[in-house]
Amino acid sequence: MTTVDTSAETVGQRLGRDRRRTELGLIAFAAVLIAALYALASLGFSADLPANLVPFVAFVVGLTVVLHLSIRRLAPLADPVLLGTVTMLTGLGYVMVLRLNEELAAQQATWCAVGTVAFVGTLYFVKRARDLQRYRYIFAVTGLVLLVMPMVPGIGTTINGARLWVRIGPVSFQPGEFVKITLAIFVASYLVEKRELMSMGTRRLGPVLLPDLKHFGPVVLMWGVSFATLFVQRDLGSSALFFALFVSMLWVATGRALYPSLAGFLFVGGVLIAWRQFEYLRNRVDVWIDPWSVAQGGGFQLVQAWYDMGSGGLTGQGIGRGTPTRIPFVETDFIFAAIGEELGLFGTTLILVAMLLLVGAGLRAAIRSRNPFEKLLATGLVTVLGVQTFIITGGITRLLPLTGITLPFVSYGGSSLVTNFILIAILVRISHDAEEEALRRDLRVSSDGSTV
Amino acid sequence: MNNMNGRSRAMGAMVLAMFIAVFVQLNVIQVARSDELANDPRNPRQIEASFNEPRGSIVTIDGVVIANSVPSEGRYTTQRVYPQGSLYGHITGYVSIVYGTAGAEQSFNDLLSAQTTSADTLGSLFADRTLVGDVTLTIDSRVQQVAAEQLAGRRGSVVALNPQTGAILAMYSNPTFDPNTLGSQDQTAVRAAWAALNDDPLNPLLARSFREVYSPGSTFKVVTAAAAYEQRPDLVDKAYPQLSVLDLPNTSSDLPNFGGSTCGGSLTELLRVSCNTGFGQMGIDLGPQALVTQSELFGFNSEPPIDLPSAASSAFSPVSAFDQDIPALAQSAIGQRDVRATPLQMALIAAGIANNGVIMKPHVLAEACDTTGALLRQYAPSAWRTAMSTANSGALTNDMIGVVVRGTATRAAIPGVTVAAKTGTAQTFGNSANAWLISFAPAENPTVAIAVIIEDQEGLGDITGGRYAAPVAKAVMEAALSAQSIP
């Protein structure tokens, strides 16, 4: 029998090298596409190539190279699609923000750099994703503190009717964005511990075998967090997002449809109460049903977004050639409509496909992992990305009532961008850990095989 | 554990399903309804884009620029200007960043707005390849100017057109507005100007000449006369009794003649003095069907096919409205009661009689050329309706010549030119009246047909078509005939 070099190091190195090479290819492709779009945006405006094309490309490439090198060093076995799609989405978003509002673009560039640092930091400090379990109560408390921070007089700030912002000195941010990660970590670790108990039925109610009532406690707590967000901060988007996170993780962990149905029941109840309580919610639904009758009022954003997307058609007006700036919040909530106008159905589909690939890569990591916590956490995090994308794109396309929330990676917004970079760092970590363990397992099997 | 994998996949499937739903909806918006949304007149996207692009000019047939775009240092790179101010406001309309387009700016937007030509070389890919169309209107500034001068200080409208082609030579109504105020790049200023125009009780934004309907009064008698010629020739020579009041059944409000005068006789005689009692009786003799048919042949109850947006239809009640209502029939026959007409409609009636019974489609577009001088579109005259036979229109023309020679429209006479006309003094609410005149000339080969209405207002005293509208029509007619002789 010839001996093949099957040491873990070598196989791992080879796999890592392949994956990083693929990743490099993906980000090179994305970088070229983004630079080309940037040049086109400038041509669309002034029929001149941008003066700062070289620094721009250097900046984009520089940041992605830093991300790439950090993965090479800290998580070489991670799925290359994760960084590839993130580069594409962030870059596309950045060019779009640049085209819409140059002032914000400078800030967005800064946030990209901060996000890169946060990404590398997360990868560096979180050596193993499962270690996060240990700090679950710290994360839970942090999450709750972050959630109530905007309510604290002095630092909390109301912007556009929602009290989501905290201003400390010159820096203002939305702590709620970061909560989705801390809550995902807490909920995942909590459920991993309790899921056996929660999925078992101990008492019978008619034909249904119910788990112990005490296990409903956390469900009610999560429901409470969601609705506190809705009632106190008036942020329907984040509320729905947290709720989707809880419910999906509960179901993935326990496999019991009981939890989602109960939660859905509570959600509908909560929304009905909110419906009675808040005029703005009723207005939202009215606008959703018929934005055209209030085209100069509450339906203005939606109607203009539809005009823009319709005018974009299949291929778009061309970047820099549209007029999306009249939509209020076009850089944040409505950036998808701007993309629809200037890049057409191709552009909007590109966003959806990139996001879908990202979700797929995250789920692949979840499925590859043998650790239930990591599995659950990865599933929760990608669900957040998917649902968040659906809430805003579905809102703009009128599949859902509109709620303001960022399009992950694409919209302008520091809190959102940095949070999502950290989120991806965690997925990269989980993906790497899962591959590494799988390699070890394979090695053990093959070495067992050879000894027998 | 494996179950958890299955459920993770299920979450993936759920996200996929959500994205597919968004994708399907995107296809609805960006493919299926793309054109509808892009071309929605309320879509300010197009207008806003047009503010950054060149736009063709609009000129009169005699070469006066009435709308053009000039480079701007403001928020947008071009500024639309209307050098003639309010004179052509109701014709050009406006291009407003807030309220979209109106008038010719709306009708001919496809010609005026910038078109990108295809790039034939790689180098021309980023070069300026935009072409715009310059639109020439049939409006003649010399006629339009006279119409405005004649209406100065009075509410009313003038419509003058060439009956042989339907080309509109002048169309002016007072009060009017200056489209420059709505074309500003400053949205706040535009909104303020809009509010001021809309708050004005005289409603200067309203193009009265083709969007406002009035009781046509006695000018409608030519329609009743045409109905007799066409459908009851026996009534043409009937001697109607000499009366000062026509006794109508089932009503206390009988039909008197203007100023209590006594008149009667044949159709020619009735028309000459605008005899209410005679035409009231003729309407009763004709019956509702003949009147409805003839008025609709002249264009009532349909939107005139003019190439400007939102022309109002003129109205004549359906046959059923006259069921058991003889007084309504008699009053409708003299253009009162529920009969409503735009000044444009009345001009088209004059034009139809002038043009051997055939009404040509009214239009303001003469032609459009692109920046390089290539012809983009040229208007080809076409018929809209045939309202009368050639013989009958000739007979009615003679009757209308009589109105000018020794009837109610002597003030419309022009030395050396045979003018045919009909006056009208339409009662409105209260004791006031609107003064009308429709005319055409030269009667032997008419090239100009005109409708004039002067709305009643304080300070005009006893208003009649003969006194107030005829001199206006005369001045406009002279201007139009002179403009036609000196191209």
Domain-by-domain residue ranges, chain B? 211-364+381-485
pTM for the model stands at 0.63
Residue of B nearest to A360 (CA): B12
CA distance B141 to B480: 10
Q: Which residues does chain A have within 8 Å of residue B10's beta carbon, measured at their own beta carbons?
A: 252
Quickly state the pLDDT bin for A83 (edges 50, 70, 90).
Answer: very high
Number of Cβ pairs closer than 8 Å across A and B?
140
Are the beta carbons of B353 and B307 closer than 8 angstroms? no
Reference A313, options A350, A343, A353; nearest CA is A343
User: What per-residue confidence (pLDDT) applies to A1?
Assistant: 44
Predicted pLDDT at A104: 87
Residue pair B277/B243 in contact by the 8 Å Cβ criterion? yes
- In this structure, the number of other CB atoms found within 10 A of the CB of residue A268 comes to 10
- Percent residues over pLDDT 70 in chain A: 88
Q: Quick one: tokens of A179?
A: 């909560």
CA max distance for chain A: 80
Closest-CA residue of chain A to B127: A47
Are the Cβ atoms of A323 and B49 closer than 8 angstroms? yes
Interface residues of chain B, partner chain A, Cβ below 8 Å: 1, 3-5, 7-12, 14-16, 18-19, 21-23, 25-27, 29-31, 33-38, 40, 42-46, 48-49, 126-128
Q: Regarding beta strands B58-59 and B133-137, do their DSSP bridges make them parallel or antiparallel, or are they unpaired?
A: parallel
Which of A196-205, A220-229, B208-217, B478-487 shows the lowest mean pLDDT across its residues?
Answer: A196-205
- pLDDT at A346 (0 to 100): 95
Chain A residue with CA closest to B23: the answer is A349
Containing B68, the helix (H) or strand (E) segment is: strand B65-71
Look up the ipTM and state it: 0.92
Distance to chain A for B116, nearest Cα, Å? 13
Selecting from A295, A367, A376 the residue whose C-beta is nearest the C-beta of B42 gives: A295
Q: In this predicted model, what pLDDT tens digit does every residue of A17-55 receive, in sequence order?
A: 899 999 999 999 998 988 888 888 877 766 666 777 788
The answer on pLDDT for A2 being more than 50 is no
pLDDT tens for A235-248 read: 788 888 888 888 88
Distance CA B385, CA A441 (A): 91
Q: Please report the pLDDT score of residue B261 as a whole number.
A: 87
CATH of span B211-364+381-485: 3.40.710.10
Catalytic residues of B: 218
CB spacing of A306 vs B128 below 8 angstroms: no
Nearest CA-CA distance, residue A351 and chain B, Å:
10
Residues on chain B touching A400 (C-beta within 8 angstroms): none
d(CA A131, CA A150): 30
Predicted confidence pLDDT, tens digits, chain B (487 residues): 458 899 999 999 999 999 999 999 999 999 999 988 888 767 877 677 778 888 899 999 999 999 999 988 877 888 999 999 999 999 999 988 877 788 999 899 889 887 766 556 555 555 555 678 899 999 999 999 999 999 998 999 999 999 999 999 999 999 999 999 998 888 778 888 998 998 999 999 999 999 999 999 999 999 999 999 999 999 999 999 999 889 888 777 788 888 788 999 999 999 999 999 999 999 999 999 999 999 999 999 999 999 999 899 999 999 999 988 888 999 999 999 899 999 999 999 999 999 999 999 999 999 999 888 888 899 999 999 999 999 999 999 999 999 999 999 999 999 999 999 999 988 776 667 889 999 999 999 999 999 999 988 665 566 777 788 999 999 999 999 999 988 7
Predicted confidence at residue A452, as pLDDT, reads: 36
Picking from B5, B22, B36, the nearest residue to A390 by CB comes out as B22
Instruction: Say yes or no for a CB contact (<8 Å) between A390 and B3.
Output: no
Minimum-distance CB partner of A340 among B30, B49, B128: B30
B33 and A310 within 8 Å at the Cβ level: the answer is yes
Cβ distance B26 to A348 less than 8 Å, yes or no, reads: yes
Task: Find the helix packing angle between A102-125 and A53-74, rounded to 10°.
Answer: 10
- Environment class of B1 (CB within 10 Å of its CB; exposed 0-12, middle 13-18, buried 19+): exposed
CA-nearest residue to B24 within chain A is A397
Q: Cβ separation of A379 and B8 shorter than 8 Å?
A: yes
> What pLDDT is recorded for position A8?
54
